[in-house]
Amino acid sequence: MSKAPEVKQIEKRINQHGHELVDHYAWMRDKNWKKFISGDLDFDNPEVKTALDAENAYTDALMKDTKDTQKIIFDELLSRIKEDDSTYPEKRGGDYYYYVREEQGKNYAILCRKKGNLDAKEEIFFDINKEAEGKKLYIFGPAQVSRDSHYLAYCYNLTGSMERTLKVRDLTTGKDFDWEIGNLNGSFTWIDNENLYFIERDETARGKNIYKINVKKGPSSKELVFEKPDEYNSMFMGLGTTNDREYFVVSMSSGSTEALFVSKKGTDKFDFFALGENDVNFEVDHYKEHFYVLTNKDGADDYKVMQVPVNDWSQGSWKEYIAETKDECLTSIEIYNDYLVLEKKNNHLALTQIDVCHLPSKKTQTLKMPSEAYDLSFMGAWDNTSTKVRVHYNSPIEPSQVLELDLQSMGLKLLKQKEVPNFDSSQYEVKREFAKARDGAEVPCTIVYKKGTKLNGENKAFVYAYGSYGIGMPAFFRSSVFSLIDRGFVFCVAHIRGGDDKGYNWYLQGKMRNKMNTFNDFIDCCEHLVERKYTSKKKIAINGGSAGGMLMGAVTNLRPDLFGSVVADVAFVDVINTISDDSLPLTPPEWEEWGNPITNKEDFEYIKQYSPYDNVEAKEYPPMLYNSGISDEQVTYWEPAKMVAKLRALKTDDNPVLLHMKMHAGHAGASKKYEGLEEIAFKYAFILKYT
């Protein structure tokens, strides 16, 4: 099938705030789409499935001549993975050392432990490969072992949706209890060694109730302990604990609003702790007679730490413990023994550092790394009384290292260096440069290329970014991207506004009615690469997923002349229609990220200027590949399907626009390791063919 499918058009006119929108492809939203989320592909309108099948057939036909390339790249990707590998063991309760193994030829990890010492006999307590046998997709997790190492509580999903089913395994027998509980959001925690709290989803999929259950008694012991107040119905719920497990914390959030409820261990009573509006956030931990709260309340955009008595949570009792420091944004806190560990971002360099504050004396020391660009993250320890914790370090050309940090001396000890076969870091160069945005902001760019590459504008480039929800893109090691770098590509991660790469204000500058900064930053980063002669126009391949897929659609509408090819994964592109539909489970929380186009004309008009689907025009576009999954409830399948149909109908060139719709996957794509590598190889083959 070499001819592109002709998707039929059924005109649907939408009048909103004095504007008329015409949607010719709204019919592609099947009435039974919610069944797809659970894996039941019972199409109400068979023409929808016919259209999707035709798209996949066309994609297969155009990519058929890349099969050999895909196989070569797949073999390369696999060659840079040590297939027989394991994580560094961690000692936990019951005198067990826990670790995770991978074996050659197996798609999933194997969970193991040894009792007493590392020379003891290995005990495999959960082999995900066995659980996934005969299943096209198996998503494992989250999972938690009870503190006494007697039970494993775990969640799984078979469709790719956000829904999770909870089961519990008795690790002394290796058998699961004969019950399971479905329709959960995956957030749960052990209360003690026999009882769990878990969150049940409601019809909006955002979470509604917290239940307590005794794992031995099963569902008959299910007891409601917390019901989300009606005023927070638009919020997503999460459940956690303080590091010492003396308090349980329920967090509810939706865009710019967050609410916290806290329960003292043993009470089953969750009391209101704090409400943050207008982008105010909280993170809480506990030490002796106080809570320590990381927050940006009262205008502390770079965050501060407040000390709050456990017996008086009123706002008047909150005292500043660590003041806000401009140019350094605090991002996370955890308490071990007498030490408060703080992760923070250097707002200029967009790099992470770790501060360790001795609580009795307030003496503070800083851990930072010497590399030009790197990723440093705090892993912690199982035992909250320990003074030795783990940190994770890597850089674009340095594979993962697990390090032990001594909180008392600040000394570092290497525990495990990730082995990457067929890779020599000395062959590559890393640069951290700052692109000048059109409004004067300095946008960090992490650039990787092979040593000896001539910067003469002749190279192809591969640029990746996300830029939404305050999620930054660390400068971490990606073994896969070297299949492009070794073929002469310059790889760049653009740390654009909308993420928190340069602190919380960097996020706010790419949110709501500042969203155009996100797209302009990306374009300006690509222009920077051209000006610095890393590459040139039409030689730039770009990629992003989810909200990063929206980025791909928006920048391609704005500057189609700049890019050689575009890959958009699970792309949020039908922005106006999606967040104007409050019947969709994820829509109300989105209003606090993008604006509410239903009630606010100014929000509508601002979003309309960048919504990718609403800005497709009759002009030339580069080759484009849209990857998606039919069971995706975060970005529903019809968004990329409609986008591809509209692009193909309006564009004035002969460049291909492809839709690759996985019929047994959701937002995260493949769950099997080797299938995931095949997806990367497919993506890279498209880039190599069309850039």
Confidence at residue 435, expressed as pLDDT on a 0 to 100 scale = 98
- Residues 272 and 360: their CA atoms lie apart, in Å, by 29
pLDDT tier, 235 (very low <50, low <70, confident <90, very high otherwise): confident
Q: What are the φ/ψ torsions at residue 177 (nearest 5 degrees)?
A: -60, 155
pLDDT tens digits for range 134-179? 999 999 999 999 999 999 999 999 988 889 999 999 999 999 999 9
- Per-residue pLDDT tens digits for 531-558: 999 999 999 999 999 999 999 999 999 9
User: Helix or strand or coil: residue 81?
Assistant: coil
Token pair 């792309």 is found at 571
Q: How confident is the model at residue 668 (pLDDT cuts 50, 70, 90)?
A: low
Rounded Cα gap, residues 16 and 8, in angstroms: 25
Query: Residues with Cβ < 8 Å from 454, sequence gap 6 or more?
Result: none
Q: What is the pLDDT of residue 666?
A: 64
Q: Which two tokens stand for residue 568?
A: 């958009």
The whole-chain average pLDDT of the chain stands at: 94
Q: How far is the C-alpha of 460 from the C-alpha of 539, rounded, in Å?
A: 5
Q: What is the mean pLDDT of residues 75-96?
A: 94
Mean pLDDT of 391-401: 96
Cβ–Cβ < 8 Å for 122, 114: yes
pLDDT tens track for 172-185: 999 999 999 999 99
Instruction: Judge whether 139 and 671 are in contact, CB under 8 Å.
Output: yes
Residue 669 has pLDDT above 70, yes or no: no
The yes-or-no verdict on residue 670 having pLDDT over 70 is no
Catalytic (active-site) positions:
546, 632, 667
- Per-residue pLDDT, averaged over 99-124, amounts to 96
Residue 445 makes CB contacts below 8 A (sequence gap 6+) with 432, 433, 434, 435, 492, 493, 494, 495, 525, 528, 529
Least confident segment among 294-303, 464-473, 657-666? 657-666
Residue 481: pLDDT band (50, 70, 90) is: very high
Q: What pLDDT sits at residue 39?
A: 84
What does the pLDDT average to over 76-83? 95
Over range 98-125, report the average pLDDT. Answer: 96
pLDDT of the residue at 633: 76
pLDDT of residue 632: 78
Q: Is the pLDDT of residue 685 over 90?
A: yes
User: Do 516 and 598 meet the contact criterion of CB atoms below 8 Å apart?
Assistant: no
pLDDT (mean) for 9-27:
95
How many CA atoms does the CB half-sphere of 689 hold within 13 Å?
Answer: 22
pLDDT at 634: 78
- Helix H or strand E segment including 686: helix 673-690
Mean pLDDT over 83-93 rounds to 94
Query: Which of the 8 DSSP states describes residue 300?
Result: -
pLDDT(1) > 60 = no
Quick check: 280 pLDDT over 60? yes
Alpha helical stretches, state H, 225-276? none
pLDDT confidence tier of residue 586, bands split at 50, 70 and 90: confident
Query: What is the model's pLDDT at position 67?
Result: 97
Identify the residue with better confidence: 35 or 147.
Answer: 147
Whether the CB-CB separation of 555 and 527 falls below 8 Å is answered with no
Dihedrals phi, psi of 613, to nearest 5 degrees:
-65, -35
Transcribe 412-446 into DSSP letters: EEEEEE---TT--GGGEEEEEEEEE-TTS-EEEEE
Question: Residues 627-639: pLDDT tens digits?
Answer: 998 887 778 899 9
Query: Which of 10, 107, 144 has the alpha carbon at shortest distance from 649?
Result: 10
pTM over the 0.75 mark = yes
User: Over 90: is that where the pLDDT of 203 sits?
Assistant: no
Token pair 């005023």 is found at 231
Percent of the chain at pLDDT exceeding 70: 99
- Structure-token pair, residue 231: 């005023």
Kindly state the DSSP code that residue 597 receives in the 8-state scheme. Answer: T
Average pLDDT of 445-461? 97
Residue 54, SS3 per DSSP: helix
Q: Token pair 């909870």 is at which residue?
A: 166
**Could you give the 3-state DSSP secondary structure of residue 253?**
strand
- Residue-wise pLDDT tens digits, 598-622: 999 999 999 999 999 999 999 999 9
Tokens of 314: 């009123």
Q: Where are the domains of the chain?
A: 327-420
